[in-house]
Amino acid sequence: MFADKGRLSAERFGAGLVILTVTALSLCPAPAAAQDGAPTEADSLASVPSLAPPANVQVVDRDNDRGSQIDVSWEPPADVEAGGVEFYRIFRSSHPDTGFTDVGRVGFTQTSYVDAGLENETEYYYRVAAGAGEELSYSPTIGPVVSRPHWFNTERLNCLVAVVIFVAAIIIFVTWAKGGRELFIRRLPGLDEMDNAVGRATEMGKPILYITGLSGISDVATIAAINILGEVAKKTAEYNTRLIVPCADPIVMAVEQEVVKEAYAEMGRPDAYNDDDVFYLTRSQFAYVAGVNGIMVRQRPATILYMGMFYAESLVLAETGSSVGAIQIAGTDAVTQLPFFITSCDYTLIGEELYAASAYLSREPILLGGLKGQDTFKFLVGMLLILGVIAATLASIGAIEANFMAPLYSTG
Amino acid sequence: MTFIWTTIGALLTLSIYSFLYKDNPFYKFAEHLVVGVSAGYYLVIYYFNFIHPNVFSPVFLLRMGGEPIGFGSFLWWMALIPGLLGILLYARFFPKFAWVGRWALGVYVGGYAGLGISPVMQARVIEQLRANAVSVAGVEDPFAAMTNLALGVVIFAAMTYLLIVKRNLGTKNLLAKIGVLLVSAVMGYAGWWVLSLISSTGVVSLTNILLVVGLLGTLSYFFFSMKHKGLLGGLARVGIAFLMVGFGASFGYTVMSRVSLLIGRVSFLLHDWLHLID
Amino acid sequence: MMRRQIPLALCFIFGVFMTIQYFIPHHSVADMQERILMWLQTLLAFAFLLGTVSLIKLHYHKIRNRADDRAYSFVALAGLLTMIGLGFFHPSHNLPGSPFSQMFLNVQVPIEATMFSLLAFYIASAAFRAFRARTLEATLLLVAASIVMLGRVPIGDLIHEGLPQATRWILEVPNLASKRGVMIGVGLGMMSTALKIILGIERAWMGGGD
Amino acid sequence: MSWAEKVLKVDRRWIFLAIGIAVTIPFFLPLGLPVITTPPVQSLYDAVDELEPNAAPLLLSIDYAPATLPELEPMSMAILRHCFEKDVDVVVMTLHPAGYGLAERAVLNAAEEYDVTYGEDFAFLGFQPGVSAVILGMGINIRNVFPEDAYGTPLDELPLMQGVRNYDDIPLVISLAGWSAAEAWVYFAYQPYRQTVGAGVTAVMATDFYPYLNAGQLVGLLGGMRGAAEYEGLVQHPDQGTRGMDSQSVIHLLIIVLIAIGNTAYFMARRAKAPSGGGVS
pLDDT 10s digits, B125-168? 998 998 899 999 888 888 899 999 999 999 998 888 888 777 77
Cβ burial, residue B230 (10 Å; 0-12/13-18/19+)? exposed
What pLDDT is attached to residue C93? 60
Predicted confidence at residue C92, as pLDDT, reads 66
| pLDDT value of position A32 | 35
Instruction: Give the 3-state secondary structure of residue B266.
Output: helix
Give the span between the Cα atoms of D162 and D156, in whole angstroms.
Answer: 6
Alpha-carbon gap, residue B43 to C80, rounded angstroms: 9
DSSP state of C135: S
Between chain B and chain D, how many beta carbons pairs sit less than 8 Å apart? 65
The answer to whether residue B205 scores a pLDDT higher than 80 is: yes
Pairing of β D122-127 and β A55-61:
unpaired
Angle at C182 between CA C178 and CA C187, to 5 degrees: 145
- The shortest CB-CB distance from A290 to any of C30, C111, C191 is to C111
DSSP C61-112: HHHHTT-TTHHHHHHHHHHHHHHHHHHHHSS-TTSTTSHHHHHIIIIIHHHH
* Gap from D224 CA to chain B (nearest CA, Å): 8
Cβ contacts (< 8 Å) between A172 and chain C: which residues? none
Task: Please report, as a single letter, which amino acid is at residue D221.
Answer: L
Question: CA–CA separation, D164 vs D138, rounded Å?
Answer: 11
Check the CA dihedral D254-D257-D259-D261 and report its sign.
negative
Q: How far does D67 lie from chain A, in Å, by closest CA?
A: 7
Q: DSSP string spanning B159-204?
A: HHIIIIIIS-TTSS-HHHHHHHHHHHHHHHHHHHHHHHHHHHTTSB
Q: Confirm if A321 and A296 have CB atoms less than 8 A apart.
A: yes
Task: Kindly report the nearest CA distance between residue C210 and chain B, in angstroms.
Answer: 9
In a domain, A379, yes or no: no
Contact A276 C127 (CB under 8 A): no
**The pLDDT of residue A9:** 38
Beta strand extents in B60-152 (DSSP E only): 63-64, 67-68
Could C82 and B90 be called an inter-chain contact, meaning their C-beta atoms sit closer than 8 Å?
Answer: no
Query: What does the alpha-carbon distance between residue D48 and residue D54 come to, in Å, rounded to a whole number?
Result: 13
Q: Domain locations in chain B?
A: 2-125, 138-262
pLDDT of residue B172: 67
Q: For testing the chain D interface, which of B5, B262, B263 should be mutated: the one with the most D CBs within 10 Å?
A: B263
Cross-chain residue pair B133–A385, CB shorter than 8 Å: yes
Q: Which helix (H) or strand (E) holds B242?
A: helix B230-267
> Position B242: which residue type?
F
Q: What is the pLDDT of residue A83?
A: 55
Below-50 pLDDT ranges, chain C = none
What is the Cα–Cα distance from C185 to C93, expressed in whole angstroms? 45
CATH number for the domain including A312?
A: 3.40.50.1220
D33 contacts C154? CB cut-off 8 A: yes
Residue A153 belongs to some domain of the structure = no
pLDDT at A70: 92
pLDDT of A205 reads 94
Of A3, A20, A109, the CB nearest to D132: A20
Nearest-Cα residue of chain B relative to residue C115: B16
Q: In this structure, is residue A406 part of a structural domain?
A: no
Closest CA to C128 of A314, A344, D268: A344
Instruction: Give me the pLDDT at residue A3, please.
Output: 45
Alpha-carbon distance B253 to nearest alpha carbon in chain D (angstroms)? 7
d(C-alpha D137, C-alpha A30), whole Å: 10
Taking contacts as CB-CB distances below 8 angstroms, the residues of chain A near D203 are none
d(CA A116, CA A21): 9
A7 touches chain D (CB under 8 A): yes
- What is the residue type of A280? Y
* pLDDT value for D212: 84
Statement to judge: residues A277 and A139 lie in one domain: no
Q: Which of D16, D33, D259 shows the shortest C-beta gap to C121?
A: D16
Low-confidence ranges of chain A (pLDDT < 50): 1-47, 82
For residue A109, the domain's CATH number is 2.60.40.10
pLDDT band with cut points at 50, 70 and 90 for residue D274: low
Q: Which of A337, A342, A389, A408 to mutate to test the interface with B (most CBs of B within 10 A)?
A: A389
What is the rounded (10 degree) CA torsion for D53, D57, D63, D68?
A: 0
What is the value of pTM for the model shown? Answer: 0.87
Report helix, strand or coil for B137: strand
pLDDT score, position A51: 78
Percent of chain B at pLDDT > 90 equals 61
Q: What is the extent of the structural domain holding A81? A: 6-146
How large is the greatest C-alpha to C-alpha distance in chain A, in angstroms?
95
Of A363, A387, A402, the residue that ends a domain is A363
- Domain-located, residue A29: yes
Taking the alpha carbons at both ends of chain B, their separation in whole angstroms is 22
CATH number of D39-237: 3.40.50
Same domain, A95 and A40: yes
Q: Do A371 and B126 touch (CB under 8 A)?
A: no
Distance CA B197, CA A227 (A): 54
Q: What is the pLDDT of residue D171?
A: 93
Torsion angle (degrees, nearest 10) of CA B214, B220, B221, B222:
120
Q: Are residues A84 and A207 in the same domain?
A: no
Quick check: C58 and A279 CB within 8 A?
Answer: yes
On the question of pLDDT at D100 being above 90, the answer is no
Residue A205 burial (CB count, 10 A): 9
User: Nearest-CA distance from A311 to chain B in Å?
Assistant: 12
Q: Is B257 on the interface with D (CB under 8 A)?
A: yes
The answer to whether C50 and C35 are in contact (CB under 8 A) is no
Percent of chain C with pLDDT over 70: 95
The domain total for chain A is 2
Distance in angstroms (rounded) separating the CA atoms of residues D119 and A34: 29
Span B50-68, pLDDT tens digits: 899 899 999 999 988 778 8
Residue D144 pLDDT > 60: yes
pLDDT at D193 over 60: yes
The chains found to touch C (3+ Cβ pairs under 8 angstroms) are A, B, D
Report ipTM for this prediction: 0.89
